[in-house]
Each structure stands twice: as structure tokens, then as C-alpha cells.
Structure 1
Amino acid sequence: MATELSFVDYILETARLGERLTYKRLFGEYALYLDEKVVAFACDNSLFIKPSRAVASLAPELPQGPPYSGAKDYPIADALLDERDLLRRVIE
């Protein structure tokens, strides 16, 4: 299932990172970039944050799953869409 652009727009609006957070369409899904560096993927209308120590420390309870077939597991950050400040910190 392809991700809807409205979902990506919602992520950008919620994170409040302005022009620092951008996206590119990628095989029906989207890669999100912070300061031109990939930090997340929007796949199947879910937000997958690139794994890092910071993400594990800030949001250890996030479920894990692959954003696309054959990918390693990424933290699924859908629950953070209701927590603007934490979402912004995890993305940064």
C-alpha cells in the first residue's frame, strides 16, 4: 500500500522543523530528510525512524518492524505523532 502524501504532510506539520525537514518520493513511499540526511521513512502510512542510540534512549518503547520487504527493523513512531516535542527530538 502506498503512503498518502497527506500523511507525510502531517508528519512535517507535527514535527515543526520547518524547511529543515523535507521528503522525496521513493517507490510509492517517502524518505524524510533532516538537513539533507535521511532520518526516517513513511511507508504504508506509518512513520519509521532510522535506528540510533538516541532514538533508543528517547523512545525505547517504540515497536519495531521493517519499513519495506527485506529491510531491517526500524522503530515505528506512529505513537509519537501525538507528542510533538518528543517527535521533534527523535527526528533531530
Structure 2
Amino acid sequence: MASDQNFVNFVLDQIKNAGVITAKKMFGEYGIYSDEKLFGLICDNKLFVKPTYSGREFIGSVLEAPPYEGAKPSFLIEDKIEDSEWLSELVRISIKELPLPKPKKKK
């Protein structure tokens, strides 16, 4: 089931002061970026954040699940998705540990 655009917009609106937050459609679902750095996915109207050491410490009791079949587990954000300050802080913490995107090869 593809994610609903209203849910994607809601998630993007929740994240503040964590860079330029954008969503790119990928196979009916969405990649979520901060300043072009992929930090999460929205699949089946659920938010998944890439796991990081600091993110795990911040969350505490982490719920992990793969966003799609065959994917590595990510942090599944359910209960706190409506807490804008908490979610924004998780994104800020997480993007510090995630690698920069690889440069695209020129054709």
C-alpha cells in the first residue's frame, strides 16, 4: 500500500530546525531528507528513521522494524510522531551521525 500524501505532509510539517526537510517519491513510498541527506523513509503511512547510536540513546526503548520486505531494520516512530519537538530533536541527532550522500557519477 502506498503512503498517503497527507501523511507525508504531516510528517514534514512536524520536523523543525533540522535543515531543509524534503520528501522524494520512491516506488510509491517516500525517502525523507535533511539537506539532501537521507535520514528516513515513509512506507505504508509509517515513519522509519535510520538507526544511529545517538538516536538509539535518545529514544530509549526503541521499536525497530524493516520499512519494506528485505530492508534492514530502522527505528519505527509511532507514539511520538505528533510530538514535533521530540521528533525534530531525533532528526537533528540522527543526521549528525549519518554519512553525506555519495556524489553522483557524471555520465
TM-score norm. by structure 2 comes to 0.80
Deviation (angstroms), 1:16:
2.5
5+ residue gaps, structure 1, are none
CA gap 1:19/1:54 in 2 versus in 1, 3 angstroms: closer
- Distance in 1 between residues matched to 2:66 and 2:56, nearest whole Å: 16
Corresponding residue number in structure 2 for 1:50: 50
Corresponding residue number in structure 1 for 2:101: none
Deviation (angstroms), 1:5:
0.9
Deviation (angstroms), 1:63:
1.1
In the alignment, structure 1 residue 13 sits paired with structure 2 residue 10:
no
1:33-89 per-position Cα deviation (integer Å, ceiling 9, x unaligned): 001100000001000001001210110223110001100111101222121111001
Q: Find the structure with the greater CA-based Rg.
A: 2
Equivalent pairs counted in the alignment come to 92
Corresponding residue number in structure 1 for 2:37: 37
- Identity rate, percent: 32
Runs of 4+ in 1 over 6 A off after TM superposition: none
Letter aligned with residue 15 of structure 2: A
More helix per residue: 1 or 2? 1
- Distance in 2 between residues matched to 1:74 and 1:18, nearest whole Å: 19
